[in-house]
Amino acid sequence: MGVISSANAEKVRERLLHTGSSSCFYESLRRSIVHLFLSGPTEVQDWSMESGAEVIERLYKFEIAKTYKGKYGNFTIVQDVYATELEDGWRVLWDYNK
Instruction: Dump pLDDT digits (tens) for 6-60.
Output: 665 565 555 545 545 556 556 666 666 667 788 888 999 999 888 888 898 989 9
16 Cα distance to chain centroid: 22
Q: How far apart are CA 61 and CA 41, in angstroms?
A: 5
Q: Which of 63, 69, 66, 55 is nearest to 82 (CA)?
A: 63
Domain boundaries, the chain: 1-31, 33-98
**pTM (2 decimals)?**
0.59
